[in-house]
Amino acid sequence: MARPRGQPYRILLPLANPRTARDLVRIGAGIGHGRKTEITALGIVEVPEGVSLSEGATHARTARRLLQRVMDFGDEEEVEIRTMVRIGRRAADGVIEAVAEESADLVIFDPDTFIDRATYDQPHQYATGMIHVFVNGVAVVRDGAHTGALPGVVVSGPGSTR
């Protein structure tokens, strides 16, 4: 489903690495520049099996400190950033829940976890590090495997031969 006219473009920034947080905010601010945009920074606290989820509240303080720094980065980039913290067993589940709740149009992720495997000789290789991908709210990649769904439309630029 396409974003209704007049609705803001929604960007979700799942954050775990303080070293890349500023760059992710810059990317979000650049993408949102010149359009009505809402940016949400998401702190994830993973709690191992066998440990009570309530124990995650203690670690949520660390996530909140990072989110506070991200809000400062937003001030530097002159964008407003909302924040949220998710506590759960798997970080990916928290991101999926936040995407659905926020109706996110775009998720900007940590480039340190993403590896492009395509080469000139083998261009049709899936990248690794993208565990789940949603297009128009439909899972296209789930648990690292393509689902076969094709819910989007091709967007072509001026150099396209389509």
Domain ranges of the chain: 9-111, 114-149
Task: Count the residues in the chain.
Answer: 162
Measure the CA–CA gap between 28 and 113, rounded to whole angstroms: 18
Residue 24 has pLDDT above 50, yes or no: yes
Cα(22)–Cα(28) distance, integer angstroms? 10
Angle at the Cα of 41 (from 66 to 39), degrees rounded to 5?
140
Which amino acid type is present at position 159? G
Higher pLDDT, 24 or 5: 24
Residue-wise pLDDT tens digits, 122-161: 777 766 776 777 776 677 777 777 888 887 766 655 666 6
Q: What is the pLDDT of residues 44-60, one digit of tens each?
A: 888 888 888 888 888 78
Say whether pTM exceeds 0.75: no
Write down the pLDDT at residue 150: 83
Average pLDDT score over residue span 18-33: 87
| Cβ neighbours around 75 below 10 Å, total | 12
Q: For residues 71 and 75, what is the distance between their CA atoms, to the nearest angstrom?
A: 6
Quick check: 10 pLDDT over 70?
Answer: yes
Question: Of 3.40.50.620, 3.30.110.40, 3.40.718.10, 2.60.40.10, which CATH number belongs to 9-111?
Answer: 3.40.50.620
Mean pLDDT for 53-68 is 86
Average pLDDT in the chain: 81
